[in-house]
Structure 1
Amino acid sequence: MEIAKFGVEDWLNVWENDAIYDIAGSSIASMTLEEVLQTIQIDKNEFMNLCFNKKMNYGWIEGSPEFKAEVCKLYKQVTPEQVLQTNGATGANFLVLYGLINPGDHVISMYPTYQQLIDIPKSFGAEVDLWQIHEDDSWLPSLDELQRLIRPTTKMICINNANNPTGSIMDETYLKKLVDIAKSVGAYILCDEVYKPLTEEIQVPSIVDLYDLGIATNSLSKTYSIPGVRIGWVVSNLEVAEIFRKIRDYTMICAGVLDDMIATYALRNAALILERNKRIVQENLAILKDWVNKEPRVSVVFPKNVSTSFIKLDIPVETEEFCIQLLKEKGVLLVPGNRFNMPGYARLGYCTRKDILEKGLEELSSFLRSYDE
């Protein structure tokens, strides 16, 4: 099996540990375990006693009943049998694609997006058409273009909502039109939903609440600020879930019992975590907007309370070269847009700690001034 290097992950693996001001990530300010417990108002000693008395066996293979019950609350009519715990959303996406995509299948993938959704189907021998997003349409792809790409034999449409790297959002109206197109040929829709918009202004239902052949993947890594537990999940209809069960036994077995416990507590108290994270997103987005408005060499389609942004750079050098020199001279880490096949742009993760964001933007502006001379 041949597969391309994972552009973003390859970049971060090489450069992330060199950063002083890491404004490349797309999670919302990751918490320590102590911060998690404080946020969800769980007594630390009580929690540690639970950990010390937890039997270190395989636990619940598909995720504990308590975990599944909390995941079900995130959707309208999902039962525990439709939920499978995975190793992050990365594991969930792989499980879906491994379970459903065969050589010769036709897949349409939003582009750019999380690279798994494009290159894993290709590696399985599928024919993948790229459904291009457009900056002048708030980084959304055209439904008319999708209609031209769709075939009677299309097996799956892959989307990432909200989108990584741009933060663009497909709202309920848009998603319903997308469902109508998929339904016309009986295609699955795989939607990576790890970036929840933290705003009430836009209604963004899960794809599984709109479409029987919709498949939702999610995790605690982005919106919930706990990537360290490596817990995700996939939700689908019962027939598809049975396919994933079979494949899952070959790819995962189970998550760790302590990870499952932390994930369950976090989801049970999700409102408290989201309240904390909504405040971070709002405050940091205001900082980003103010900075962009003052920075002549940067423009951006601002995300709507989503934790990732995609800035456009007015610079006379190749983007990756710029990002490497920025890191070496100023300690500031971005993800160059060419890692999404979008040179001239960079992913800027503005939902890090406030002090890191402010100093990182200050140093980025200082570096950009060298091109004014």
Structure 2
Amino acid sequence: MDIAHFGVEEWLNKWEKKATYDISQSSIDALTVEELIGLDGTTVTDFFETISKEPLDYGWIEGSDEFKSLVAALYKHVEPDTILQTNGATGANFLALYALIEPGDHVVSMLPTYQQLYDIPLSLGATVDFVELKEEDHWQLDLADLESKLTDRTKMICLNSANNPTGTLLDIPTLKAIVEMARKVDAYILIDEVYAPLTEKEEFSSIVDLYEKGIATNSLSKTYSLPGLRIGWTASSKEIADIFRKYRDYTMICGGVLSDKLAVHALKNKDRIIERNRKIITGNLSILNQWVKKEPRVRLVSPNYVSTSFIKLDIPQKDEAFCIDLLEETGVLLVPGTAFGYPGYARLGYCCKQDTLTKALDLLSNFLRKFDPESIS
């Protein structure tokens, strides 16, 4: 099996620990252990005293009953038995693709998106066609283009909503239109939903609540600020979950006793986490949008209250070289658009601590001034 290098993950693995001002990440400022446990007034001492005699065995293979029930409650039409715990959303995506995609299958994906969603199918012997998102269309999926790519042998439509890296959303009318297309060719729809928008508006629906062959993958990493727990899940129909179970035994035994306990605690306190994170997104997005208005060398289609954004750089330099120079000279880290197949752009993760964001944007603007005519002359 041959597979392409994973652009964004290789970039972060090489550079993220060298950053002073990391605005490359797509999570919301991570909770500490103390912050997580203290959400409901529990102390770290009390929490770990309670579980201190818990055997560190395999625990619940598919996730504890409490975990599965709490996750199922995030959806409208999902039963706990159809929730399968995974190693983050990356594990969930891999499980779904590994279980369903075979050599000769046809898959349609969007671009840009999280690279797993097209390179894993390619590595499994599938043919992949792309619907390319365009900045001038506000990064919205072209439904006519999608429909033109579907055939009678299309096995799966792989999407990402909200989108990584652009932060734009597939709204409910769009999802319903995609479902009708998929039904006509009897295709699965897999949507990585790890970036749920934190707005008060009812704009978002999970694909698993709209389509019998819909598969939702998600985790605690982004919306819930807990990427270090490495806990995710698949949500699907019982028929699909039963297919996944067989393949899951080959890819993941369990999430671990401690991670499951912490995940349950997070889900019990999800409203408190979302309230915290909504404030972070709202405040930081305002800072980002105001900065973009004043920065002549940057364009941005504002993200839909999710933690990732995709800026266009107006510079006479390749984006990867620019990002390396920026890091080495200022300590500011972005992800070059080339890592997503879109040169000339960069992923800017704005949901870090506010002082980090403000300082990083100031340094980025100062760095961009070297491309101005008066600086060049």
| TM-score (normalizing by structure 1) | 0.99
Q: Which residue number in structure 2 is paired with residue 217 of structure 1?
A: 217
Alignment map for 1:330-341 (pairs within 5 Å): 330-341=330-341
Q: Which residue number in structure 2 is paired with residue 205 of structure 1?
A: 205
> What SS does the aligned partner of 1:141 have?
coil
Q: CA deviation at 1:289?
A: 0.8
Does residue 1:285 correspond to 2:276, yes or no?
Answer: no
**CA deviation profile, 1:116-159 (whole Å, cap 9, x unmatched):** 00100000000000111121222012000011100011000000
Q: Which residue number in structure 2 is paired with residue 166 of structure 1?
A: 166
Q: Which residue number in structure 2 is paired with residue 62 of structure 1?
A: 62
**CA deviation profile, 1:6-48 (whole Å, cap 9, x unmatched):** 0000000111111000000000001110111223432322201
**CA deviation profile, 1:191-239 (whole Å, cap 9, x unmatched):** 0000010002342110000000000000000010001110000011111
Q: CA deviation at 1:51?
A: 3.0
- What is the distance in 2 between the residues matched to 1:141 and 1:66? 36
Q: Which amino acid aligns with 2:319?
A: T
> What SS does the aligned partner of 2:234 have?
strand
Q: Which residue number in structure 2 is paired with residue 306 of structure 1?
A: 306
Q: After the TM superposition, which segments of 4 or more aligned residues of structure 1 sit over 3 Å from their partners?
A: none
- What is the distance in 2 between the residues matched to 1:74 and 1:42? 24
Q: Which residue number in structure 2 is paired with residue 112 of structure 1?
A: 112
Q: Which residue number in structure 2 is paired with residue 275 of structure 1?
A: 275
Deviates more, 1:243-252 or 1:51-60: 51-60
Q: CA deviation at 1:54?
A: 1.6
- What is the distance in 1 between the residues matched to 2:39 and 2:139? 34
Deviates more, 1:75-84 or 1:196-205: 196-205
Q: CA deviation at 1:77?
A: 1.8
Does residue 1:94 correspond to 2:94, yes or no?
Answer: yes
Q: Which residue number in structure 2 is paired with residue 320 of structure 1?
A: 320
Contact 1:171 1:202 in 2 (8 A): no
- What is the distance in 1 between the residues matched to 2:124 and 2:367? 43
- What is the distance in 2 between the residues matched to 1:129 and 1:180? 19
Contact 1:87 1:231 in 2 (8 A): yes
- What is the distance in 2 between the residues matched to 1:38 and 1:291? 34
- What is the distance in 2 between the residues matched to 1:187 and 1:232? 24
Q: Which residue number in structure 2 is paired with residue 53 of structure 1?
A: 53
List alignment gaps of at least 5 residues for structure 2: none
Quick one: percent identity of the two aligned structures? Answer: 59
Contact 2:141 2:170 in 1 (8 A): no
**CA deviation profile, 1:82-139 (whole Å, cap 9, x unmatched):** 1000000000000000000000000001111000001000000000001111212220
Q: Which amino acid aligns with 1:245?
A: R
> What SS does the aligned partner of 1:24 have?
coil
Number of equivalent positions: 373
| TM-score (normalizing by structure 2) | 0.98
> What SS does the aligned partner of 2:281 have?
helix
Structure 2 CA distance for partners of 1:135 and 1:40, relative to 1, 3 Å: farther
> What SS does the aligned partner of 1:140 have?
coil
Q: Which amino acid aligns with 2:21?
A: Y
- What is the distance in 2 between the residues matched to 1:157 and 1:247? 20
Does residue 1:16 correspond to 2:35, yes or no?
Answer: no
Q: Which residue number in structure 1 is paired with residue 256 of structure 2?
A: 256
- What is the distance in 1 between the residues matched to 2:50 and 2:175? 42
Q: Which residue number in structure 2 is paired with residue 85 of structure 1?
A: 85
Q: Which amino acid aligns with 1:180?
A: E
Q: Which amino acid aligns with 1:102?
A: E
> What SS does the aligned partner of 1:84 have?
strand
Q: CA deviation at 1:290?
A: 1.0
Q: Which amino acid aligns with 2:128?
A: V
Q: Which residue number in structure 1 is paired with residue 244 of structure 2?
A: 244
> What SS does the aligned partner of 2:108 have?
strand
- What is the distance in 2 between the residues matched to 1:40 and 1:329? 43
